[in-house]
Structure 1
């Protein structure tokens, strides 16, 4: 009996640990980490459930009541009494009610996402490039919270604002340095990576001015933000900037030509290696993906479900990679008007995707899709 109690106590401690781990998973883990963690929890809970079921099947939970009948002949103990009485063990069925969950139910804790085959973007509009803009070389573009669009024009080192209808509104700011990438930080703030100057600028798009310059000890080739953190990458290493206190963390193993952030994980492309990769927020590799359908990958972005969208410039495709980095699908091609795509972005709240395309020699535009 003592052994059984000790075993049950150990199982209880194990359950307490799993509950604590589950709470941490729901607070901090990505979907992929959540899935892997829950598979381990499911395995452990299944073993515990089997242990409890086996105990019940073996009647270990049956109650054992001891009844003692005292002999009335105790006064004759020295004569002919051979016992003090009788001990009867009565076994009654256990009142314990076990509710063993089905094995599959652990999976329901993980959000169920639509399959990659169901991703089918629908065309909404194409931005209007007026004659006064002339040539436009779009290296970055993204959707603002109000539905307007920001374009980074590499030809003239400037940020341009377009309306929700796709019409040019104004120039936001221009640079004397040579910018290489830009991203949305918050509703009115944009970060611009200034390449070999080892600087990244924070721009207020409402005030049309640079509000801060972040200086690093590396090239600033690409930039991505989730509103709390800014990741600036180069082809040697990357730096993570905490936007609350502006502290820096070096990510030695993370190198990329273009990057994105989703649920704290860092995603990137290396165009000359035809690679797409995923790292944790601390720079630990999670997966790397290569496929013949991805050729000279440039910009990338993620939707609300964690699917990775790649601008595959070398073969005029937009390719989607699954959240686990194992499968891919081409969702747009040259037949859809995709030519030399470079920049891509998705507003995860509205589901609007914008992609830069070449409309004539040395001049780009952008098309907007609903996903």
Structure 2
């Protein structure tokens, strides 16, 4: 009896027998139990069918690919190369009877897995995914920037309010101090006059008492003379009082507020205005090459180097207190630049594409080269330390550490495999778990850098001044020796397999045709190349990144 969520065996189900399938035939599109699989394999007409495990079937069961004509309901058995269209037996005579290149679909699909169309489709998905990822990163970054701007404006408002409060407090304190000083001065004058009056009052009361006693008890002559003497004192006090009265002022306090203060409280109706400017986001969508699943038909895979030019984007000098020896560089999926500095500082250095230093990333040892694996991972080699690390390209947390027997110099990634120069004369091919798949022996022992592109390996021999191109199995396809190129260091390739090589001693950049037959110089020392050590081509943005040994960085758009 078939279990729940299991795939039933198709032939058994036809006989009303329920059994679990252990395999799946992609041609018959049905499950097979063990017995039916054996019968299926023994049948001459069925034995070439592709049979996969149920686990693998689960990975493709939701992929909807119709093998039936949508117009006639018949199986798609023919293919028109002119119209790039799969046909059924009814389509051929009805719509394509004049087409001379209608072939059996079995012939057309013979190279389907190796077709450039499938490769282009994979590249298109990867490119579109990269575009979406970059857009996500850009919008997340924009959101963070917006939050920072909001906080900055908020702090500016609060600081302005605090400054206004502080300034008003100071003005208020100054005005109150002025009021207090004026009032104290006025009260001091009042008090002085008041003291004089009280002293006079006391004198007058005393003279009054003396006059009364004189009248009662003194002799006539004493009264006579005393009257005149006391009268003189009274007249003196009267004159003094009159003089003080004439000099005495009354005061009235009022305040005239500054017009701006009055306006602030009466007329200013808002603290400020929030202004929002709108401009186009710095989002770039790189078009992918989608070929409607054509199988190697009219596919443009090459470009003549005579038409290739470089447009300057940005140049800057890396600012760092430590010693510089840049030996590797990449453009990260988020658009930032990452450089390997082969010194005892043991750091990778991250910059923005605008030339702003972001951070130094501490790593295991002296990093020699870097390669992009996918949207979230990079590979880093550590030269004589004989170590290669796979790490997250956002957090730079190490996900896998791989130890080799010999030095780890140049590194490149292609289709889930790492190609690492080890021991200066061999290329070790590893999967991403670190398992060694093969070793390619190179006919030179002075190799530092390597790059890969689809089905080819490129490397430079700095001693013989040669650039080599070979298959993924190590079979040499071509080599180039150019008198203008001395001490070739790093190599990278574009979307058309044209190679870009920097000459460390010749201080130049040359481009080599994909077949190795032509080359030309693109940049020289006058363009800023001075002991150039590292180069990287971003196939998604068509951007060329070049780094001199001492940290001078150049970015170009390849057009």
Instruction: Please give the alpha-carbon distance, in whole angstroms, between the structure 2 residues aligned to 1:137 and 1:338.
Output: 15
Distance 1:29 1:240, change over 3 A: farther
Partner in structure 2 of residue 26 of structure 1: 115
Deviation at 1:288, TM superposition (A): 1.4
The answer to whether 1:324 aligns with 2:504 is no
- Is the CA contact 1:267–1:277 (under 8 Å) kept in the aligned structure 2? yes
Query: Which residue is 1:117 aligned to?
Result: 306
Match of 2:393 in 1: 205
Considering Cα pairs closer than 8 Å and 6+ residues apart, tell me whether 1 or 2 has the greater RCO: 1
8 Å CA contact retained: 2:388, 2:403: yes
Change (3 A) 1:135 1:179: closer
Distance in 2 (CA, whole Å) between partners of 1:299 and 1:260 is 9
User: How many angstroms apart in 2 are the aligned matches of 1:225 and 1:232?
Assistant: 9
Question: Take 1:109 and 1:133, find their aligned partners in 2: how far apart are those partners?
Answer: 53
Instruction: Indicate if the aligned counterparts of 1:137 and 1:154 stay in contact, CA closer than 8 A.
Output: yes
Answering whether residue 216 of structure 2 is matched by residue 127 of structure 1, we say no
**Contact kept in structure 1, 2:377 and 2:391, CA below 8 Å:** yes
Deviation at 1:293, TM superposition (A): 1.9
Deviations 1:259-318 (A, max 9, x none): 001013211111111111112122222221111122111111111111100011121110
- The reply on whether 1:193 has 2:384 as its aligned counterpart is no
1:302 aligned onto 2:493:
yes
Q: CA deviation at 1:164?
A: 2.2
- Label 1:110 to 1:149 Cα distance change in 2 as closer, same or farther (>3 A): same
Q: 2:415 and 2:324 mapped to 1: Cα distance?
A: 28
Equivalent of 1:286 in 466, 472, 477 = 477
Which range moves more in the overlay, 22-31 or 147-156?
22-31
Deviation at 1:110, TM superposition (A): 4.1
Structure 1 CA distance for aligned equivalents of residues 327 and 528 of structure 2: 18
Aligned-residue offset at 1:114? 3.3
**Cα offset, 1:138, TM superposition:** 0.9
Partner of 1:369: 556
Name whichever structure is richer in strand by fraction. Answer: 1
> Which has more radius of gyration?
2
The answer as to whether partners of 2:348 and 2:367 remain within 8 angstroms in 1 is: no
Aligned: 1:166 with 2:166: no
1:364 is displaced (CA, Å) by 2.1
Change (3 A) 1:15 1:188: closer
Distance 2:108 2:392 in 1: 44
Question: Could you tell me the TM-score, scaled by structure 1's length?
Answer: 0.68
Alignment of 1:1-371 (within 5 A): 19=108, 22-23=111-112, 25-26=114-115, 109-111=298-300, 113-130=302-319, 132-155=320-343, 156-175=345-364, 177-226=365-414, 228-234=416-422, 235-243=424-432, 245-254=433-442, 256-357=447-548, 363-371=550-558
**How far apart in 2 are the matches of 1:339 and 1:188?**
32
Shift of 1:221: 1.6
What secondary structure sits across from 1:195 in the alignment?
coil
**Where does residue 86 of structure 1 map in the other structure?**
none
Equivalent residue number for residue 41 of structure 1: none
Aligned twin of 1:79? none
Structure 1: runs of 5+ lacking an equivalent: 1-13, 32-106
Task: Tell me: CA distance 1:110–1:292, structure 2 relative to 1, closer, same or farther (3 Å).
Answer: farther
- The Cα offsets for residues 103-152 of structure 1, whole Å up to 9 and x where unpaired, read as xxxx973416432111111111123423x535422111111122110011
Q: What is the alpha-carbon root mean square deviation over aligned residues?
A: 2.8
> Secondary structure at the residue paired with 1:186?
coil
CA deviations over 1:41-90 (Å, ceiling 9, x no partner): xxxxxxxxxxxxxxxxxxxxxxxxxxxxxxxxxxxxxxxxxxxxxxxxxx
> Structure 2: which 5+ runs fail to align?
1-102, 121-295
Between 147-156 and 21-30, report the one with greater CA deviation: 21-30
How far, CA to CA, are the matches of 1:215 and 1:134 in structure 2? 28
Secondary structure of the 1:349 match is: coil
Q: Is the alpha carbon distance of 1:28 and 1:249 closer, same or farther for their aligned partners in structure 2, counting shifts above 3 Å?
A: farther
> C-alpha offsets along residues 3-46 of structure 1, whole Å, 9 cap, x if unaligned?
xxxxxxxxxxx999975655455259999xxxxxxxxxxxxxxx
TM-score, normalised relative to structure 2: 0.46
Deviation of 1:213 after TM superposition, in Å, equals 0.8
C-alpha change, 1:133 and 1:344, in structure 2 (3 Å) is: same
Q: Is the 8 A contact 2:500 2:509 kept in 1?
A: yes
Deviation at 1:195, TM superposition (A): 2.1
Please give the alpha-carbon distance, in whole angstroms, between the structure 1 residues aligned to 2:104 and 2:538.
40
Q: Secondary structure at the match of 1:117?
A: helix
Would you tell me which structure has more helix in proportion to its own residues?
A: 2
Over 3 Å counting, the alpha-carbon distance change for 1:165 and 1:336 in structure 2 is: same
Relative distance call for 1:291 and 1:21 in structure 2 (3 A) is: farther
